Structure 1
Amino acid sequence: MQHAPTRSRSVDGEGGIRQTRTDRPFLHVLADTSDKLSGVCSILEEKFTIAGERLDADSRLSQTPAAIVIRAELRDVDNIAAIKKRASKLAKARKRIFLLEHASHVCISQAYALGATLVLPGTVSRTRLLAALADPADGPSASSGDTSQPDNAVETAATAIASMFTAVTLGQPLDVDGTKEAGRQIAERITQHGLTEWLMTVRRHHEGTYQHCLLVTGVAIDFGLSLGVGRTDLERLYSAAMFHDIGKAQIPLAILDKPGRLDAAERALIETHPAAGYEFLKGHDGISPEILDAVRHHHEYLDGSGYPDALCAESIGDIVRILTISDIFAALIEHRHYKPTMPRAEAYNILCGMSGKLEKALVHSFKQVALTR
């Protein structure tokens, strides 16, 4: 194999990588082509000390970086194998950002399976990449064990969600127990650290469907805790939240993450996801009727104007009612790179304005979750 180039701010006489500036964070960049490597390094070297390697080079990184940025085609098994060879070194970096130009459910799932803490799909954006690396959590306290725990819960949950989507896409069995365990870990984190910290942590992750599922699960758990639901009902609630959008695995990411308004055909396709999720899940052991009901009906409204079955109040169960409020609120406060994040108070006011569609008493009970927890 031809020796692939290594790129850094400074290279010693034997080709090893060393850091030349101590006043800037040290980053490691991996890419599958020289052009990709050069492109990422040119974005980052203004603010960071960079060590760059092609994936087909022997790894020479000895210093643990603050973050690793990987830009590679994950449909290529050689690239996947090269990243796996570096797994022990990757695990030492607190941030592992994957830049995926081919953004499919399977590729995003693969990135999380390889240890990604953040996936940025689509064309490489200088603004988004620098914002991801300039997270406030990078301060001196970020290295403490307690501070890093919420990220671990997010990584576990994001991997579970990605695995779910891949199972649907490839027609494989779903890891029901693994998904429920991820929900349990979210419940534990929110019980210990609160909803606000969870929301802030999740917003460092994939923008769009994956982030949305994490937000909904966190909001639903905190809502359930605030209502004093029992352990069994809380498990049903966080399981329903984790599974609720699994039907979106059959919808292209270009539609799910579209910046502008959906046209009629796109909207009709989006509205197939509750029934599609229900159909996929109903053949799996460990999925209770209550969870299936919530997956199918989380877009139903009390006045019968929802979908897919146009249910009315008496046909909509308690878990569905809680999940619907959590789902709408989470959608409103999502972080999208193309628009400002809506303040939680404004999102709550929108819920209050949905008279006749949502249970008024539950919306009132949700106020503390929305504004202060």
Structure 2
Amino acid sequence: MFVQVLADEAARLSGLCRMLDRRFRVEGERLDLDAKLSELPDALVVRADLRTIENIAALKTRSAWMARIPKRIFLVEQPSHACLSQAYALGATLAVMGPVNPSKLFAALADRARPGETASPAGGTDNAVDVATAAIGSMFTAVSLGEPIDVIGARQTGRRIADRITERGFTEWLTAVRRHHEGTYQHCLLVTGVAIDFGLSLGLRRDDLERLYTAAMFHDIGKAAIPLAILDKPGRLDAEERALVETHPVKGYDFLKAQAGIPAEILDAVRHHHEYLDGSGYPDALCAESITDIVRMLTIADIFAALIEHRHYKPTMPRAEAYGILARMQGKLEKALVIAFKDVALTR
């Protein structure tokens, strides 16, 4: 495998090249110098401070070339939502958080395409996942900076995911998302995909499906106010961390209600997607009659997506096992919807 390395400092560049040279054919370039590589690599590794305008500008000048590379791994050593979303906005297919971990980087580079993943005409992976990730990253950045959110863009991205799943099915979407993402972004992409396929399986009208996938796109936006170290913590959260995470529905609701163009049913879904029919959910302990249909569907999609997520520190739960957990949540989820969801969970 031929790996190209881009870095913003000579020491970073040489250190990364020496590390990778043990297993791959490697060439490196500094971001502040003119691009000189003529051969297209199999993979790209970027190690640069994405808080720096000069680094972002330098990467943007290489965007057309980078888009042709199937695997684009960004090493994001500054654990912030802004840097993470910037990496995906610049075209990362995978952003690896924290200090450089040789074994994790080697594994990411050696990872082969999984069944169902397709290539784009430009020679890279299909860009529907990249576009969706960039949209979610943009939303998280807007929350972090207190800027207006692109409501129309989010809705258009949801429609694009719906078209992709209509054409290729949910399993293909699951495969593509798992391959390129972990943590919070993977979860948002999976929930949107699950909700869309659930809506398609029920034969929802186009406007109802749009409301559902828009709610799914926005549902976890409040997590932009939660530190990544907590959101992506391996293992169980302690009581204080759990309490902080459980503030995200209200934080998301408060942010979105100040934005123009967000319908009331979307705001309701963002605030209440962790409510249960028996009143045991949060933040408002709603009971059955107070929980809308869109929230009931979104809650099922959210739980299922969380169960089947790929995390590097634990095995991925099989879809049948995840559905079994949903089926046993009697009194919390609407039984008729859980039964209807079985086809999505197991076969689609």
Query: Please, what TM-score do these two structures have when normalized by structure 2?
Result: 0.95
**CA distance in 2: counterparts of 1:207 and 1:245, whole angstroms:** 15
Query: By how many angstroms is 1:138 displaced?
Result: 8.1
Question: Aligned-pair distance for 1:146?
Answer: 10
Match of 1:67 among 18, 29, 43: 43
SS of structure 2 residue aligned to 1:362: helix
1:322 aligned onto 2:303:
no
**Offset of 1:344 from its aligned partner?**
0.7
AA partner of residue 107 (structure 1): C
Which sits farther off after the overlay, 229-238 or 103-112? 103-112
Let me know the Cα RMSD of the aligned residues. Answer: 1.9
Q: What is the distance in 2 between the residues matched to 1:147 and 1:84?
A: 19
Query: Which residue of the other structure, out of 295, 301, 316, is the alignment partner of 1:341?
Result: 316
Following the alignment from structure 1 to structure 2, what is the Cα–Cα distance between the partners of residues 35 and 343? 43
Kept in 1, the 8 Å contact 2:74–2:87? The answer is yes
Runs of 4+, deviation exceeding 3 Å: 141-149
Tell me the distance in 2 between the aligned counterparts of 1:138 and 1:322: 29
User: SS of the counterpart of 2:44?
Assistant: strand
Amino acid at match of 2:201: S
Q: Contact 1:120–1:206 at 8 Å: present in 2 too? A: no
- Work out the CA distance in 2 between the residues paired with 1:142 and 1:135: 15
Match of 2:18 among 42, 55, 59: 42
Residue 87 of structure 1, CA deviation = 2.2
What is the alpha-carbon distance in structure 2 between the residues aligned to residue 41 and residue 58 of structure 1?
18
In structure 2, relative to structure 1, the CA distance for the partners of 1:148 and 1:87 (3 Å cut) is closer
Of 312, 321, 326, which residue of structure 1 is paired with 2:287?
312
Percent identical: 69
1:165 equivalenced with 2:117 (yes/no): no
Contact conserved, 1:128 with 1:337, CA < 8 A, in 2?
Answer: no
Give SS of 2:27's match.
strand
Task: Say whether residues 1:255 and 2:230 are aligned partners.
Answer: yes
CA distance in 2, matches of 1:309, 1:137: 43
Q: Which residue of 1 aligns with 2:110?
A: 134
Residue 183 (structure 1) aligned to one of 133, 141, 158:
158
CA drift of 1:96 comes to 1.6
- TM-score, normalised via structure 1 length: 0.89
Equivalent positions of 1:1-373 (< 5 A) are 25-137=1-113, 143=119, 145=121, 151-373=126-348
Q: How many Å apart are 1:133 and its aligned residue?
A: 2.5
Most deviating of 314-323 and 255-264: 255-264
Q: Measure how far apart 1:64 and its partner are.
A: 1.4
**Matched pairs, number:** 347
Q: Matched residues in 2 for 1:144 and 1:30: separation?
A: 23
Secondary structure of the structure 2 residue equivalent to 1:35: helix
Deviations 1:242-290 (A, max 9, x none): 0000001001000111112111111111111101111111122221111
Unaligned runs of 5+ in 1: 1-24
